[in-house]
Amino acid sequence: MRLLNVFYGLFGLLNITNAFISYEKNPSIFFNNVINKKNIKNIKLKTTKKLEAVNFKNKIEGFSKLTRPKNIISTFALTFSGGYIMNPSLKQLFENEEFIFSSICTILIVLSSMVINDFYDAEVDKINKPTSPIPSGQITKTEALVFNLILIGITEFLGLRFLKEDEIIFLNLIIFVIQIYTPVLKKIPLVKNITCAAIISLSVFFSGLASNENILITENTNFYILLITTNIIFCGSLVNEILLDIRDVKGDKIYNIPTLPVIFGKTPSLIISYIITNSNIMLNSIFLLYLKNETYALFLILLYSPIMVDLFKIKNKNVSNKVIVNIVNNKKIPMFLILFYMCFLARFS
């Protein structure tokens, strides 16, 4: 027994000696066991921080998708056009405080409209757009609602601080309409489309109103050019809304949303789109003919022709979502050129 104890003692001494030698060669190894628990806590802390960073990045991406930031460029193109038509001087326009803040408010309202629409359409979008932020779980409905309130709050603050009384009334009217659009107006066939198109086109008129130089807006020599531009944008947006309803017809039928394609079918809805498109360009060209001359009117028709050609390419019974999205996206370049053309008329004709 004593011999065995001596053996254990020698074995322990050997281990202590080995540990001391290891410490001499690499002290960190000697303390590994001592700080092991601390290392585990540090690893957990780093992992938590990484997860929080990933989650934060994911939320930012979700809010970005929710607001569709690409619409900022097109919205600014509209507000700039309205402002420049009524005040065709870049220097004066960008020195005009009301124009600048009316444009910012318009952009914020457009972002808000995207958020609140997705908030109310969360269930329908599980079918129509399952990868969008709210249906996919990337953003919660509560987060979307709070974000919308922040956007509206900033808009109201800027409006009250920098805009005139009539412009504030106009701004609040648009905000009110947007907030009731999905829960109320969207349930009324065609009214939903007209409302959405009106909000988009009025961004041109609103910035024109804000940039007008201290005279009655109707006395501005470019007022009728502003009206033509607003009409073109309104009808173009109305057609877009009908086309997007055709794209979403499957989910809208399931949730009993009474859009034109749900009530009348795809083909009649496409025919309505054709009629609006052709009436839009014909009537506004005639208006421009009387305002200027036939050369200006014909050039407007030429700029609008790609949109008409694209619409006639649609096969009534075989229209796919991809085709509709492409047509809506392809309209952006002709519409941008039309805006540029109207600004040119305001400045040089």
State whether the Cα torsion 230-187-257-260 is positive or negative. Answer: negative
- What's the domain range around 295? 221-349
Phi, psi (deg, nearest 5) at residue 285: -70, -40
Q: Which of 283, 285, 200, 187 is nearest to 238 (CA)?
A: 200
The reported pTM is 0.79
Q: Is the pLDDT of residue 139 over 80?
A: yes
**173 and 253 inside one domain:** no
Confidence at residue 31, expressed as pLDDT on a 0 to 100 scale: 45
What pLDDT does residue 125 have? 82
Span 129-145, average pLDDT: 89
* Residues 280 and 319 placed together within one structural domain of the fold: yes
Domain-embedded: residue 187: yes
d(CA 338, CA 86): 16
Q: Is the pLDDT assigned to residue 68 strictly greater than 80? A: yes
How many domains are contained in the chain?
2
Asked if residue 130 and residue 83 are part of one domain, the reply reads yes
Span 83-99, pLDDT tens digits:
999 999 999 999 999 99
Task: Indicate if 197 and 308 belong to the same structural domain.
Answer: no
- Residue 20 domain-assigned? no
Q: Is the pLDDT of residue 1 over 50?
A: no
Residue 247 lies in a domain: yes
CATH number assigned to the domain comprising residue 167: 1.10.357.140
Residue owning tokens 């958020």: 115
Residue ending a domain, among 178, 212, 246, is: 212
* Domain annotation covers residue 9: no
Tell whether 78 and 181 lie within a shared domain: yes
Both tokens assigned to 138:
């990337």
Other C-beta atoms closer than 10 Å to the C-beta of 258 total 14
Indicate whether 197 and 230 sit together in one domain.
Answer: no
75 and 208 share one domain: yes
Do 227 and 178 share a structural domain?
Answer: no
Whether 43 is in a domain gets the answer no
Q: Could you tell me if 195 and 177 are in contact, meaning their C-beta atoms sit under 8 angstroms apart?
A: yes
Residues 301 and 348 in one domain: yes
